[in-house]
Structure 1
Amino acid sequence: MTITTTPPRTRSPWSGVASAAESERWLAVAQSVADELAKDAVARDRANTPPVEQLALLRESGLANLLVPAQAGGHGGHWETAFGVARVLARADASIAQILGYHYLNQACVVFYGTDPARQAEWLRRSAEGSWVWSDSFNPVSPDLAFTADGDGYRLSGVKRFATGASVADVIIAGAVAEGGALDGRLVVFAIEGDRPGIEHPGDWDNVGYRASASGSVRYTDVAVSPDDIIGVDEDEPFSSVVTPGVQLLFGNIYLGIAEGALAQARELTRARPGSWFLSGVDRYSDDPVTHRLFGELVARTVAVEALADRLNRRYDEAVALGAATTSDDRAALEIAVAQLKVIATEVGLDVSSRVFEATGASSTRAAVGLDRHWRDIRTHSLHDPVDYKKIEVGAHYLNGTIQPVSLYT
């Protein structure tokens, strides 16, 4: 008789799944924050305003500490709740939703890459005490950073583009291959405050969408990095790389939230729209069967994406609970499932945020209305990594069982 045992669950502070009470509490908080963001979202988008006050709102609401375990001073929430919170915020302001979602994943790097339980607990405790918002400058397509030994520590130089939230956040996560020192040749992951001497934020973010996300560059010039700043080393093991499906799952939820936000605003505009098309045979656009057909199609497709996202949000809690017991097969199965969501959320989000104008009419294209913001946001962010390669990822696995190489995109 073969006796099988369950591998010990180590390194992960997360276990179980979200209760109904947890979800209800934090989604209500998220809705309150979203309502506040919505008051001036259009104006902030047009002004390309750095989201300083909006990050303060995330701290004050408790959302910044949602995933920090209770024993470390946080709220002990689950990933299912966190992804749901990001989705709620994305309906009102995708830029702030992105910053918060990245915060959760960057903060979690102390778990994914940190192997010392005491150090992990200390990072989380300090983060909770300060209600830190975490950002990153991990963009793999930017030139690599120079990370050169200097005594017991290192000196960091170089530029990273698309560092969402870095100019306004408390902490920046980054990674670089060490040159010299005790960690020579290894990919080191570290965290430093965003205003440390030698760090500059050029303020060069002026894109068509995501305008309030502070996604500009970070320039490092001879920045001191001490051993205390180092979270860990990328050991190329399955658990640490689970962070990447988490990033892609966040994208899927935000694209879904953008579609929901576009539909909600289009519904209000359509119901308030006077008159009707002269061939429709009805008195108002909201009674036109053509309008009903359009909304019926867009709503049904959006709800289908919601069902898949909800399922995967809970599955991610199950995945991270495995901790160091995570296998390559566990990680691969999660990657493929999330890639499926990424494909459909991207396509539905782009389609919904564009086609709602067919119901709302020419008057809804006025800049003051801001309906275009939903499409501009998803069009900008959906170019983060080509969705065609996600389709290839899913198709190759379906046909041949192929798994793409592990990377910061897969």
Structure 2
Amino acid sequence: MPRVPYTGTASEAELERWRAVARQVAGTLAADALARDRANKQPFAEVQLLREAGLLELLVPAEFGGAGGHFETAFEVIRILAAADGSISQLLAYHYINQSGIAFYAPAEAQADWWRRTVEGSWLWGDSVNPVDPNLVLTREGDGYRLNGAKRFSTGSGVGEVIVVNAEVEGSGELLAFVVPREAEGLRIVDDWDYLGQRLSASNSLVYRNVRIEPSDVLGPVTDEPVATLLTPGIQLAFANFYLGIAEGALARGRQILLGRTNAWFLSQAETYSQDVVFQRTVGELKARTAAVAALAEKLGRRFDQVLGGAVSQPQRAELAVAIAELKVVASEAGVDVANRIFEVTGSSSTKSDVGLDLFWRNVRTHSLHDPVDYKKIEVGAYFLRGESQPLSLYT
């Protein structure tokens, strides 16, 4: 049984420390986010920026050389980075969840070695677990396994030192989580991630041809233990935070554009666009919605740590998952709406290519399709009306 090493909740000092780090990194990313998005290159330099800032080890327990931070802090970091660069925020969000597979899947006696190795190698953890693309075959071979098949949408795989894979052992029904180095023999990374947004998330396709999986590569079985299944609500909470961050980034950029305009609409009685009540009303509506989502996100970030640090029952897990689904619904809709409607107050000139306002909409529109938000609404409604939980999965 895994021993989850996370305890307690974040202090204000911890939060402030990492907020400051995240803001500094976000400032660097914001300076050329649009140019990097258009270049669509694998984000090795961006990962190095995260590494040098200490962000890759934020959630690693202090006893193994990490920062000993909390998920609440990690979620805030994700949100701050998303306001500058949604792709790199996604990379880091997935890294935190993938890396925490050590806690959720590995037996207690194996965790120390995994934590030390991730710190010593300064690993970024990618993944290859897309459950709607289960084209993998894991075959026993001696004391290990051979992996064959292909997988799309493998976030971080293009730049991560290691890649977490989930696959069922052929003929056994056992689902294992294991780790494949990016340079593993037989692994081919297909540089085919060319989508509307989140272009630097390194979400490539992977092809496995007789990749050897040693016993030491296995994190552990993927089980339905309540504490182990918290990984899924965790990543949904991460998603909501970077949708929120993108909305906040779009608002900040829109404000900058609006305040920079020295004239007003010809029918307006105001001297400038920012003084026009029509535009103030729209901005006020979008800002208020974003603030409400932020309040819920902050509340659930702390609650996630509180639940994770105790003995987790199935009812507790179900209640938390639904609460996070509620956040996912409002964060998805607010993110897309804010990133879209900010153009209403910045006008046609803000659609000029070098303004870059479209980057926020492209990013949130792309990732908000990760899993249908309508099914999150059903999850919330079924639980509220009948106390029914959705079947356990990597989406629920």
Q: How does the TM-score come out when normalised to structure 2? A: 0.98
Do the aligned residues in 2 keep the contact of 1:112 with 1:243 (CA within 8 Å)?
yes
Alignment of 1:163-174 (within 5 A): 163-174=154-165
Superposed displacement of residue 12, structure 1: 1.4
Q: Helix, strand or coil for the counterpart of 1:258?
A: helix
Alignment of 1:230-379 (within 5 A): 230-322=218-310, 325-379=311-365
CA displacement 1:149-197 (0-9 Å, x = unmatched): 11111110111111111111111000111126xxx43101101211111
Q: Helix, strand or coil for the counterpart of 1:121?
A: helix
| Partner amino acid, structure 1, of 2:4 | S
Do the aligned residues in 1 keep the contact of 2:250 with 2:342 (CA within 8 Å)?
yes
Tell me which residue corresponds to 2:8. Answer: 16
Tell me which residue corresponds to 1:220. Answer: 208
Correspondent of 1:381 among 360, 367, 390: 367
CA displacement 1:81-109 (0-9 Å, x = unmatched): 00000000000001000110110110000
Tell me which residue corresponds to 2:169. Answer: 178
Tell me which residue corresponds to 2:53. Answer: 61
Count of residue pairs brought into register by the alignment: 396
Asked if 1:146 is matched to 2:132, the reply is no
Structure 2 distance, partners of 1:331, 1:217, is: 32
Structure 2 distance, partners of 1:193, 1:342, is: 32
| Partner amino acid, structure 1, of 2:359 | R
Tell me which residue corresponds to 2:187. Answer: 199
Identity over the aligned pairs, expressed in percent? 55
Structure 2 distance, partners of 1:130, 1:39, is: 29
Structure 2 distance, partners of 1:154, 1:367, is: 50
Consecutive aligned runs of 4 or more in structure 1 exceeding 4 Å deviation = none
Q: Helix, strand or coil for the counterpart of 1:200?
A: strand
| More off after superposition, 64-73 vs 189-198 | 189-198
Do the aligned residues in 2 keep the contact of 1:189 with 1:232 (CA within 8 Å)?
yes
Tell me which residue corresponds to 1:4. Answer: none
CA displacement 1:264-304 (0-9 Å, x = unmatched): 00000000013110111112111111011011100000000
Pairwise CA RMSD of aligned residues? Answer: 1.1
CA displacement 1:236-286 (0-9 Å, x = unmatched): 211111000001000100000000000000000000013110111112111
Q: Helix, strand or coil for the counterpart of 2:154?
A: coil
Do the aligned residues in 1 keep the contact of 2:124 with 2:160 (CA within 8 Å)?
yes
Structure 1 distance, partners of 2:299, 2:223, is: 30
Structure 1 distance, partners of 2:144, 2:187, is: 17
Correspondent of 2:84 among 72, 92, 95: 92
Q: Helix, strand or coil for the counterpart of 2:67?
A: coil
Structure 2 distance, partners of 1:14, 1:58, is: 22
| Partner amino acid, structure 1, of 2:164 | I
Structure 1 distance, partners of 2:9, 2:144, is: 40
Superposed displacement of residue 118, structure 1: 2.5
Do the aligned residues in 2 keep the contact of 1:208 with 1:380 (CA within 8 Å)?
yes
Tell me which residue corresponds to 2:217. Answer: 229
Do the aligned residues in 2 keep the contact of 1:144 with 1:176 (CA within 8 Å)?
no
Tell me which residue corresponds to 1:40. Answer: 32
Do the aligned residues in 1 keep the contact of 2:2 with 2:104 (CA within 8 Å)?
no
Superposed displacement of residue 10, structure 1: 7.5
Q: Helix, strand or coil for the counterpart of 1:192?
A: strand
Q: Helix, strand or coil for the counterpart of 2:292?
A: helix
Tell me which residue corresponds to 2:105. Answer: 113
Structure 2 distance, partners of 1:282, 1:235, is: 62
Asked if 1:405 is matched to 2:391, the reply is yes
Structure 2: stretches of 5+ with no match in the other structure: none
Structure 2 distance, partners of 1:163, 1:220, is: 13
Q: Helix, strand or coil for the counterpart of 1:224?
A: strand
Correspondent of 1:158 among 141, 149, 152: 149
Structure 2 distance, partners of 1:124, 1:100, is: 17
Correspondent of 2:113 among 122, 134, 138: 122
Do the aligned residues in 1 keep the contact of 2:2 with 2:228 (CA within 8 Å)?
no
Superposed displacement of residue 201, structure 1: 1.0
Structure 1 distance, partners of 2:232, 2:175, is: 16
